[in-house]
Amino acid sequence: MAEKESHIETSMEETKKYSPPEEFKKKANMNDPGIYKYAEENYEEFWAGHAENLEWYKKWDKVLDWENPPFAKWFVNGKINASYNCIDRHIKDGKGDKVALIWEGEPIDESTKYTFNELKEEVCKFANGLKELGVGKGDVVTFYLPMVPELAIGLLACARIGAPHSVVFGGFSPTALADRVHDSESKVLVTADGYYRRGKKLNMWENALESLESTPTVEKVVIVDRMGRKDLELDDSRDVYYHKLVAEQSTECEPEQMDAEDMLFLMYTSGTTGKPKGVLHTTGGYLTGTMTTFKWVFDIKDEDIYWCTADIGWITGHSYLVYGPLANGTTTIMFEGSPDYPDKDRFWKIVEKYKVTVLYTAPTAIRLFMKWGREYPDRCDLSTLRLLGSVGEPINPKAWEWYHKVIGDSRCPIVDTWWQTETGMILITPLPGITDLKPGSATRPFPGIQADIFDAGGSPLEPNQGGYLVLKRPWPSMLRTLYKNPERFKKTYWSEYGINIYFAGDGARKDEDGYFWVVGRIDDVLNVAGHRLSTMEMESALVDHPAVAEAAVVGRPDDLKGHVPVAYVILEGGRTGSDELAKELIGHVGKIIGPIGRPAGVYFSEDLPKTRSGKIMRRILKRLEAGEEPGDTSTLRNPEIVEELKNRVQ
Ligand code: PRX
């Protein structure tokens, strides 16, 4: 990881406290603050109690096996199927005709609803189709799709037959897709002919085809016909249209009895080195964790209409658009489009159209809505909303207040939820009806979760001292390892402070009330509009360009996106920087990583601040970008370069 600073700056600015109204407290289903004490003291029993809400083929012998840390096992020897628990269990409970999934297309007149009965049929047909293609238990299937219903259906179809899924966000490039397919050794890729983005029709098939050139493991490709394109040249031995594959399949498919510890999915996430990490989640613990947190954090009732605006290409979409809601039998909405198409009121039109009661979105979106102004939400009836959620990055108090007042009509509590791809489920969060809210703080650890702030040496810090966020006890939906890389798993998360302590990679402080204030990543990971990007990945993309000798990428604070990447580049001898070259480099990174990885700016420089051993001090560049003083430059080989860069940045 990046060089650790002994001290982390955290802002102490706090606004007023929000106490849940008594009325709300009474209605909340978990209105017993004693739950924290109970979960703390009866940790395993607490989680076992929740796991009991799922249907198991065989109960576990042991709740938690933590004898060989950091390799945890939850619900040891339990047998379960996630797809069954998200669908069939509710049908058995008489909810077959309840709407499970609402899909809203980007074109305003396109939408579909699936009841639990209908969802089961679709899932079984796709599951049988995958089997026909030779997919069996343990075979990883990669999805590279826009937000079409087939993606949610595909996850559940895979879970049904015990094939782990690996979803690659549709905005990633062919190279990024190929890397992920390659690492997971997928035999099947599910993709689409194209997708809509702000009214434009964009190609997807071409990207998939390009990646297939370097992914020899892929034997079969399933194509969702989203755009009705007629120009695809298919390889008949490899490619099949989704609708043709499922047309004749049976609507019944017996779920596989999976071990609680069998892999449910892989989710690749950016790490501190160039190579993305395959975060591995298993079945029983993941489902228990996401089901329980979803129910409690969003205080879910049977009649709720819940909308999570995240893409299923990220963990939020997995845990809180698909698995968490469906495990609870909740109606969940999936939206294909953008918040500003056809107009900037699209989100609010959706809330009005479906009478959404709980909305879960990201601070970056909230800041955008704030910029657009309240005219857009004010056009729509948002009176059905009763609870608002936030995830992905710290929410600044100003955006919190706006979300609370304008969207929530000062009525709806806000749950600011801290978690990660690796944690699988929400870990630091208010419980509506119990927790007093402080805008900007994710508040307290979920019952049973032990979080703390350590200094660089591993000692717990006093209130309000900035340090490193750690988790001191395993939790059911924790990642089990990094795919095919247990050593990297140990080194990344469990070696900073010992093999029992999870190192989250975030800087934070805890205040005098025990509330957590997360500042952001302290490693070489950038959080851009709630998306995690590795600066190392961008740097290797830059040096891949023939004009570039060396590069350093750091985050620049941005009002809307939280941070944006900027690149400092040293060119190969004799080359000079120009606007054209800057554009070319930005395009080059975009091509290798995908549009989300494009740097917002490029600086050309003769040199970069380096230690005597030649390591680039990114920390200094980061400070310059934040408009701060560079700090101690005495260990640099070339301190003079800092002044020069400072003049240029400001
Ligand atoms: O830095 C934290 C930030 O997002 C990181 C995790 O990113 P990812 O794995 O992509 O998952 C995002 C969705 C769960 C964390 O290490 N983060 C996430 N939620 C919050 C947050 N930072 C502050 N407050 C949050 N509520």
Quote helix, strand, coil % in the chain, to nearest 5: 30, 25, 45
Residues near 259 by beta carbon (within 8 Å), at least 6 away in sequence: 77, 78, 79, 283, 284
Q: 521 CA to middle of ligand 1, Å?
A: 9
In a domain, 574, yes or no: yes
Asked if the model's pLDDT at residue 26 lies above 50, the reply is: no
Structure tokens at 32: 């017993």
Rounded CA-CA distance 132/126 in Å is 10
With the most atoms of ligand 1 within 8 angstroms of its CB, the residue from 267, 396, 419 to mutate is 419
122 vs 20, residue with greater confidence: 122
Q: In terms of pLDDT, which residue wins out, 644 or 282?
A: 282
The yes-or-no verdict on residue 214 having pLDDT over 90 is yes
Ligand 1 atom with the shortest distance to the CA of 416? 26
Question: CA-CA distance, 616 to 607, in Å (whole number)?
Answer: 10
Look at the block and give the residue holding tokens 């290798």. Answer: 592
Q: How many Å apart are CA 85 and CA 99, to the nearest integer?
A: 16
Q: How far apart are CA 455 and CA 465, in angstroms?
A: 9
Task: Give which of 318, 333, 506 is closest to 428, Cα–Cα.
Answer: 506
Beta strand spans in 478-558 (E): 481-482, 502-510, 516-521, 525-528, 531-534, 548-558
Q: How many angstroms separate the CA atoms of 8 and 523, rounded?
A: 12
pLDDT grade for 354, boundaries at 50, 70 and 90:
very high
Å from CA of 392 to ligand 1 middle: 4
| pLDDT on residue 284 | 98
pLDDT for 504 equals 97
Query: What mean pLDDT is predicted for residues 372-389?
Result: 98
Query: Residue 505 to residues 4, 29, 125, 395: CA-CA distances in angstroms?
Result: 10, 33, 41, 18
pLDDT digit string (tens) for 235-278? 999 999 999 999 999 999 999 999 999 999 999 998 766 678 99
Please report the pLDDT score of residue 186 as a whole number.
97
422 CA closest ligand 1 atom index: 9
Is 605 inside a domain boundary? Answer: yes
534-553 pLDDT, tens digit each? 888 899 899 999 999 999 99
Residue 419 alpha carbon, nearest atom of ligand 1: 14
3-state secondary structure of 357: coil
Q: Which of 219, 244, 259 is the endpoint of a domain?
A: 259
Task: Decide: 362 and 529 in contact? Cβ < 8 Å.
Answer: yes
Domain count for the chain, please give it: 2
Domain boundary among 259, 279, 309: 259
Tell me whether residue 229 is in a domain.
Answer: yes
What pLDDT shows up at residue 276? Answer: 83
The confidence band for 508, taking pLDDT boundaries of 50, 70 and 90, is very high
d(CA 294, CA 283): 16
Which residues face 558 on adjacent strands?
Answer: 562
DSSP 276: P
What is the pLDDT, as a whole number, of residue 166?
98
Structure confidence at residue 12 (pLDDT)? 54
The answer on pLDDT for 182 being more than 80 is yes
Residue 28, pLDDT > 50, answer no
48-52, 210-214, 250-254, 267-271: the lowest-pLDDT one: 267-271
CATH number of the domain to which 129 belongs: 3.40.50.980
pLDDT band at 30, cuts 50/70/90? Answer: very low
Which of left, alpha, beta for 163 (phi over 0: left; psi -120 to 50: alpha)?
beta
Name which residue leads in pLDDT, 600 or 612: 600
Phi first, then psi: what are they for 631, rounded to 5°?
80, -160
| Range of lowest pLDDT (23-27, 402-406, 498-502) | 23-27
Query: Which atom number of ligand 1 is nearest to the Cα of residue 429?
Result: 26
Cβ atoms 478, 522 nearer than 8 A = no
CA of 69 to the centre of ligand 1 (A): 24
Q: How far does residue 591's CA lie from ligand 1's centre (Å)?
A: 25
- Judge if the upstream peptide bond of residue 397 is cis by omega within 30 degrees of 0: no
In a domain, 197, yes or no: yes
* Model pLDDT, residue 296: 94
- Residue owning the nearest CA to atom 13 of ligand 1: 392
Phi, psi (5° rounding) for residue 263?
A: -65, 130
Distance 444 CA to ligand 1 centre (A): 15
Q: Is the pLDDT of residue 14 over 70?
A: no
Cα 390 to ligand 1 centre (Å): 10
* Closest ligand 1 atom to Cα of 504: 16
pLDDT, one tens digit per residue, over 216-247 is: 999 999 999 999 999 999 999 999 999 999 99
Specify the ligand 1 atom closest to the Cα of 518.
23
Q: How far apart are CA 57 and CA 54, in angstroms?
A: 10
- DSSP-assigned letter for residue 428: B
Alpha carbon nearest to ligand 1 atom 24, residue: 394
Predicted pLDDT of residue 408? 98
Q: How far is CA 485 from the centre of its chain?
A: 21
Which ligand 1 atom is the nearest neighbour of the CA of 417? 26
Is residue 371 assigned to a domain? no
- Residue 508 vs residue 11, higher pLDDT: 508
Tokens of 48: 């076992």
Residue of 180, 70, 161 whose CA lies nearest to 478: 70
Residue with CA nearest ligand 1 atom 5: 420
pLDDT for 17 = 63
What is the Å distance from ligand 1's center to 274 Cα?
20
pLDDT tens profile 301-335? 999 999 999 999 999 999 999 999 999 999 999 99
Distance 191 CA to ligand 1 centre (A): 27
CA of 163 to the centre of ligand 1 (A): 28
On average, the pLDDT of the chain sits at: 93
Atom number, ligand 1, closest to the C-alpha of residue 532: 10
Three-class HEC string of 295-347 = HHHCCCCCCCEEEECCCCCCHHHHHHHHHHHHHCCCEEEEECCCCCCCCCCHH
Give the residue whose CA is nearest to atom 3 of ligand 1: 393
Q: Is 108 exposed, middle or buried (0-12, 13-18, 19+ CB in 10 A)?
A: middle
pLDDT at 380 over 90: yes
Q: Give the type of residue at 314.
A: W
Quote the percentage of the chain above a pLDDT of 70: 94
End-to-end CA distance of the chain: 29
Q: Give the position, in ligand 1's atom list, of the atom nearest the Cα of 531.
A: 10
324 Cα: distance to centroid of ligand 1 (angstroms): 18
Atom of ligand 1 nearest to the CA of 426: 14
Q: What value does the mean pLDDT take over residues 411-430?
A: 97
User: What is the rounded distance in angstroms from the CA atom of residue 611 to the CA atom of residue 170?
Assistant: 39
| Euclidean distance between CA atoms 408 and 351, whole angstroms | 12
Query: Once rounded to an integer, what is the mean pLDDT over residues 491-498?
Result: 96
**Which structural domain, as residue segments, surrounds residue 153?**
118-259
Does the global pTM surpass 0.85? Answer: yes
Is 603 inside a domain boundary? yes
- Name every residue whose Cβ is closer than 8 Å to that of residue 380 and which is 6 or more positions away in sequence: 345, 348, 349, 351, 352
Candidate of 318, 320, 391, 422 to mutate for ligand 1, largest count of ligand atoms within 8 Å of Cβ: 391
In this structure, of 175-189, 344-358, 367-381, 636-650, the range with the lowest mean pLDDT score is: 636-650
**How is residue 412 written in tokens?**
């709806």
**Residue with tokens 């030779």, as numbered in its chain:** 134
Query: Is residue 335 a contact partner of residue 104, using CB atoms and an 8 Å limit?
Result: yes
Compute the distance from residue 419 Cα to the ligand 1 centre, in Å. 5
Listed residue (208, 191, 183) closest to 279, CA to CA:
183
Residue 420 · residue 411 · CB < 8 Å? no
**Residue 621 Cα to ligand 1 middle (Å):** 23
Q: From atom 8 of ligand 1, which residue's Cα is the shortest distance away? A: 420
Name the DSSP letter for residue 273: S
Lowest-pLDDT choice from 84-98, 344-358, 520-534: 520-534
Q: How confident is the model at residue 525 (pLDDT cuts 50, 70, 90)?
A: confident
Cα–Cα dist 340/198, whole Å: 8
Nearest CA residue ID for atom 10, ligand 1: 532
pLDDT value at position 27? 40
Nearest protein Cα to ligand 1, atom 6: 420
* Residue at a domain's end among 194, 227, 259: 259
What number of residues does the chain have?
650
Average of pLDDT values for 411-440? 95
User: Does 384 reside within a domain?
Assistant: no
Note the pLDDT of residue 573.
86
Q: What percent of the chain clears pLDDT 90, i.e. is strictly above it?
A: 81
pLDDT, position 258: 98
What is the three-class DSSP state of 400? helix
CATH number, domain of 543, equals 3.30.300.30
Q: How far is the CA of 267 from the centre of ligand 1 (A)?
A: 15
CA of 360 to the centre of ligand 1 (A): 14
> Does residue 507 lie in a domain region?
no
Nearest CA to ligand 1 atom 26: 418
Residue 371's pLDDT is what? 94
CB under 6 Å to ligand 1: residues? 269, 315-316, 391-394, 416-421, 442, 504-506, 518, 520-521, 527, 532
DSSP one-letter code for 416: E
Q: Are strands 467-471 and 502-510 parallel, antiparallel or unpaired?
A: antiparallel
92 Cα to the center of ligand 1, angstroms? 36
In the predicted model, what is the mean pLDDT of residues 339-353? 97
